[in-house]
Amino acid sequence: MKKPTALILTALCVILCACSNGKTESQTAKTSPLNIPEYIGNAYTEINGNKPGFTEKEKSKTKSFEKYSRLDKLGRCGTAFANIGTDIMPTEERDLISSVKPTGWEQNTYTFIENGYVYNRCHLIGYQLTGENANERNLITGTRYMNVEGMLPFENEVAEYVTSTRHHVLYRVTPVFEGDNLLASGVEMEAWSVEDNGKGVCFNVYCYNVQPGVVITYANGKNAPDKKYTAKSNVSGNKSKAIISREDTVRTYILNVSSKKFHLPSCDAVNKMKPKNKKTYKGTRSSLTKNGYSPCGMCNP
């Protein structure tokens, strides 16, 4: 795959073709409804039998690389493709990425969403894998739900595998935009561990860019509360209780008083911190965020 740029077209063709023969970038994608099962309450679904669509040539690469597509004429991201190895993983904490405003960025807050915000600047290739900060070719508007419930567990799987084996994982994330929509309907994530022929890591999934309780207009990213959802007060009521307990649970965090990030004690970044910036803190997440601290993107405390 030399030029992932063309993949920013509508996604279905890309996904199907990429899986069947892996060399589709130059084909014209048809605008057709996504042939992906409708969202029914799971953050992701397996596609193509969970098999990634990498070519044999791609699967033979044991050198790390990372490539990001140029933005298309609407300013949208395309495929991000990498061979993840420890040599391109980050060694520093994440910087601020708020300078990037991806397409469909119509931010709103809702009481039933953790941290309130419906949208995250969502890394296509997670920061923990390639250390890309404010790279506009790697950040899309994604719901908190897609970011945390959909993508993060897969990202973590890849990161853990690469760190523990020091092997490589081919990793490709393709945002799926229907027609001229500015907000992606979801992302396809493919991964395959190279040195052991996919034994360690092998998946092809689609994560839905949805947020339970929120009605989203994908043409522009605008969003509003789902009245039906709010009416089911038991579901959202329980959920917000769970969120409150996480926010208000007292536990030990490690602070970086210079960058104003907080970490789990087990985070890699903690060992790399300058001693003068490091502070152990016992308290709640909510008191930290009130005092201007934000959670580390790697350990997701």
Instruction: Summarize as ranges the residues that interact with Zn ion (CB under 5 A).
Output: 263, 267, 269, 296, 298-299
CB nearer to Zn ion: pick between 90 and 102: 90
DSSP three-state, residue 253: strand
- CA dist 42 and 88 (Å) reads 32
Burial class (CB in 10 A: 0-12, 13-18, 19+), 241: exposed
To Zn ion, the closest distance from the beta carbon of 38 in angstroms equals: 36
CB nearer to Zn ion: pick between 118 and 296: 296
Cβ(127)–Cβ(133) below 8 Å: yes
To Zn ion, the closest distance from the beta carbon of 295 in angstroms equals: 8
Compute the radius of gyration of the chain from its Cα atoms.
19
Which string of DSSP letters, residue by residue, matches 15-73? Answer: HHHHHHTS--TTSPPP-----SPPP-S-SEEE-GGG-----HHHHT--S-EEEEPPP-T
CB nearer to Zn ion: pick between 16 and 148: 148
To Zn ion, the closest distance from the beta carbon of 301 in angstroms equals: 6
Q: Pairing between strand 186-193 and 169-176?
A: antiparallel
- CA dist 6 and 25 (Å) reads 5
Give the contacts of 92 (CB within 8 A, at least 6 positions apart): 131, 269, 272
To Zn ion, the closest distance from the beta carbon of 297 in angstroms equals: 8
CB nearer to Zn ion: pick between 182 and 298: 298
CB nearer to Zn ion: pick between 22 and 90: 90
To Zn ion, the closest distance from the beta carbon of 99 in angstroms equals: 21
To Zn ion, the closest distance from the beta carbon of 299 in angstroms equals: 3
CB nearer to Zn ion: pick between 92 and 180: 92
